Chain A
Amino acid sequence: AQSVTQLDSQVPVFEEAPVELRCNYSSSVSVYLFWYVQYPNQGLQLLLKYLSGSTLVKGINGFEAEFNKSQTSFHLRKPSVHISDTAEYFCAVSSNQAGTALIFGKGTTLSVSS
């Protein structure tokens, strides 16, 4: 079974500052990793995913994440945030075996202020 831990429940930052949202996972098998964003009263939208290959993954809206197998981490980063990035961010993991569901972390609320 897989599990995900998002280490920060809330991250407040000022506009144009860099941000890192932390995510650690545990699994006994190889995994795929994802970050999703949820704006208020909406569903989740995929930001980026790691399936294999390069450990640095670039996604939409200027976000990127780095897969670190030795530290079992998949932290999300953005060099300069905007007010519009205020949302809840979810890290998720699934095994690479067919037919398995995504397991989500509890989410991190990113609040960007001016």
Chain B
Amino acid sequence: NAGVMQNPRHLVRRRGQEARLRCSPMKGHSHVYWYRQLPEEGLKFMVYLQKENIIDESGMPKERFSAEFPKEGPSILRIQQVVRGDSAAYFCASSSGQGSSNSPLHFGNGTRLTVT
């Protein structure tokens, strides 16, 4: 499967624990986007990364959330000290070009985070 791979598909964490969500972009893609989906709210943009660089993190909460896309390996979205409000589906998307202009986003199947 050459698509965007996200793991785990489901993640359960207790309040206060850390959640690490992984995303391997499509082969040849160097641009990664993270979105959060809450019921009735659609997808909210969180962060846009290229290899080793954060390009736009305007949608990321200022505290507890961080993202990286190292030179080698998958992109990681990290949530520290999770709270119940962090429960959501987190989607990763990748593209080959600059933003979405001529290279539409390809989405993974998401990680569903449940905080108990």
**What is the count of residue pairs linking A and B with beta-carbon distances less than 8 angstroms?**
72
Residue of A nearest to B112 (CB): A41
A43-B110 contact, Cβ under 8 Å, with A101-B45, A102-B45: yes
Interchain nearest-CB distance for B2 vs A (Å): 14
Please provide the chain B residues from 29 to 79 with a CB less than 8 Å away from any CB of chain A in the complex: 33, 35, 40-45, 48, 55-56, 59
B109 is an interface residue with CB less than 8 A from chain A: yes
Interchain nearest-CB distance for B56 vs A (Å): 6
A101-B48 contact, Cβ under 8 Å, with A32-B100, A32-B101, A43-B91: yes
- Say which size band chain A's interface belongs to: 20 to 34
- Say which size band chain B's interface belongs to: 20 to 34
Q: Please measure, in the bound complex, the distance between the C-alpha atom of A105 and the C-alpha atom of B105, giving whole angstroms.
A: 15
Chain A residues whose CB sits within 8 angstroms of the CB of B44 once the complex forms: 104
Interchain nearest-CB distance for A35 vs B (Å): 11
Complex A-B, nearest 7 residue pairs according to Cβ-Cβ distance, in ascending order? A43-B107, A98-B98, A106-B42, A104-B43, A44-B107, A94-B100, A43-B109
Given contacts A99-B48, A104-B44, 5 further A-B contacts (CB under 8 A): A51-B102, A98-B98, A101-B48, A101-B99, A103-B45
Interface residues of A (CB under 8 A from B): 6, 9, 32, 34, 36, 41-46, 49, 51, 90, 92, 94, 96-107
